[in-house]
């Protein structure tokens, strides 16, 4: 005679544990994401001539340009430094997000390749 629930060998308990673990992980990810969004990431280019500050949710907060970086005869270099600084700050956000996800998914153990 089959056991109730259709899961032979006590699977419902394991499934409940997996669901609880997934829900706990989702809450932790949401909390970590909120914390990350409050952080600021700074990067500079041109030896510090240009500095960009980006929030954890990838919003450009500020760009600081040293007065000696402004050369009317070489605007392209200034533009390149701004792009480089902003991109570096964005890369820092990506790395922080990746580190956060690694911490969250590192303890999954038996979940294997399941995604939520």
What's the whole-model pTM score?
0.67
pLDDT digits (tens, 9 = 90+) for 10-66: 556 788 888 888 888 888 888 888 888 899 999 999 999 999 999 999 999 999 999
- Has residue 87 got a pLDDT over 90? yes
Q: pLDDT confidence of 101, banded at 50, 70, 90?
A: confident
- Has residue 6 got a pLDDT over 70? no
The closest alpha carbon to 28, from 90, 106, 94, 85, belongs to 106
């Amino acid at each position: 005679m089959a056991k109730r629930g259709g899961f032979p060998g006590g699977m419902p308990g394991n499934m409940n544990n997996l669901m609880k673990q997934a829900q706990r992980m989702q809450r932790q990810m949401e909390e970590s994401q909120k914390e990350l969004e409050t952080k600021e990431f700074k990067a500079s280019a041109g030896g510090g001539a240009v500095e960009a500050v980006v929030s954890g949710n990838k919003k450009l907060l500020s760009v600081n340009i040293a007065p000696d970086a402004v050369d009317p005869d070489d605007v392209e270099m200034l533009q390149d430094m701004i792009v480089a600084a902003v991109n570096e700050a964005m890369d820092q956000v990506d790395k922080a997000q990746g580190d956060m996800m690694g911490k969250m998914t590192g303890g999954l153990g038996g979940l294997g390749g399941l995604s939520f």
